[in-house]
Amino acid sequence: MVMLKPRIENGSVYSRQEAAEALGVSLSTLKRLIRKGHLKVSKPDGMRRVFITGESIQSMLDNTVVERGA
């Protein structure tokens, strides 16, 4: 069975889990990307939940350089 990654759409808001699935990375990798500032997130006051916009994900991907042999 082939699992398709969710499509990343501008104007949409993703949870950490949804963003990790869309990028094809683990939740711990996604948290590391957030901590290092590669992904911008929104965290409303008093909430533990983090929101990631499709624009933030696309921006990170647009600024990512793919190295040969990586």
Q: Within the chain, what is the greatest distance between any pair of CA atoms?
A: 44
**Model-wide pTM > 0.85:** no
Residue pLDDT, tens place only, 4-45: 667 888 889 999 999 999 898 999 999 999 999 999 999 888
Domain that holds residue 39: 13-62
Strand, coil or helix: 14? strand
Does 70 map to a domain? Answer: no
The one-letter amino acid at 1: M
21, 6 Cβ separation under 8 angstroms = yes
- What is the domain count for the chain? 1
**Hey, how many other C-beta atoms are within 10 angstroms of the C-beta on 39?**
21
Strand, coil or helix: 5? coil
| 60 membership: H or E segment, kind and range | helix 54-62
Does 6 map to a domain? Answer: no
